[in-house]
Amino acid sequence: MTTENITIRETENNDLHTICEVEKLAFGYDKEAQLTVALLNDSTARPLLSLLAYHNEKAVGHILFTRVYINEMSEDQPLVHILAPLAVIPEYQKQGIGGMLIKAGLEKLKKAGSKMVFVLGHIGYYDKHGFIPNAGKLGYQAPYPIPEEFANAWMVQSLNTEDFTVKKGTVVCANELNKPEHWRE
């Protein structure tokens, strides 16, 4: 399979079942699907960006970006997002679909005026897509402490030419993601 047969589109309200199926298949359990549904229904996660990848008519991947703030939820802050989760169903993994979803999402967020995107994810994967490991060293702390041995998994990417001019501090996620159980291994 080549990625030229992949199409990506923003999700719609009637895509919830499809999104859940992709999340369940990709992770092998319901936790990420439940978190995704909760985030899609969380008003503090907006504006958000939810994308589905299709191979022909089959949904094979999903990515979600939700609104975050620095230090406190305040509407006068610059637009900043977090990527969580990214899901590709097993038989389509390691074929570039996750990268396509990341790229499409980052482009859309940049056009929408988002300044930065955070992710807590695998070293060696997200950094290949422009994320800088250890966002804490740049002054952006995760919502909950991350053990030193995993500090590089907390990453950030600037979406503007001014790089990291957004005020420094602790990232505050949407209510559904801003819970300690989502920040432990």
Strand pairing report for 140-141 and 169-172 = parallel
pLDDT at position 185 is: 60
Lowest mean pLDDT across 123-127, 145-149, 157-161, 167-171: 157-161
- Tokens (6 digits) for 93: 């993994």
Supply the pTM of this predicted model: 0.95
Strand pairing report for 116-120 and 80-88 = parallel
Q: Specify the DSSP class assigned to residue 166.
A: S
Which DSSP string corresponds to 76-144? TSPPEEEEEEEEE-GGGTTSSHHHHHHHHHHHHHHHTT--EEEEE--TTTGGGGTPBS-GGGGTEE-SS
Which tens digit of pLDDT belongs to each residue from 82-120? 999 999 999 999 999 999 999 999 999 999 999 999 999
Which tens digit of pLDDT belongs to each residue from 47-56? 999 999 999 9
pLDDT at position 183 is: 86
CA distance 117 to 79: 9
CA distance 124 to 120: 12
Question: How many Cβ atoms from other residues are within 10 Å of residue 16's Cβ?
Answer: 16
Which tens digit of pLDDT belongs to each residue from 29-62? 999 999 999 999 999 999 999 999 999 999 999 9
Q: Assign domain 3-183 to its CATH superfamily.
A: Gcn5-related N-acetyltransferase (GNAT) (3.40.630.30)
Counting beta carbons within 10 angstroms of the beta carbon of residue 78, is it exposed (0 to 12), middle (13 to 18) or buried (19 or more)? middle
Q: How confident is the model at residue 75 (pLDDT cuts 50, 70, 90)?
A: confident
pLDDT at position 2 is: 56
What's the average model confidence in pLDDT over 120-128?
Answer: 94
Q: How far is CA 67 from the centre of its chain?
A: 10
CA distance 74 to 33: 28
What is the domain partition of the chain in residue ranges? 3-183
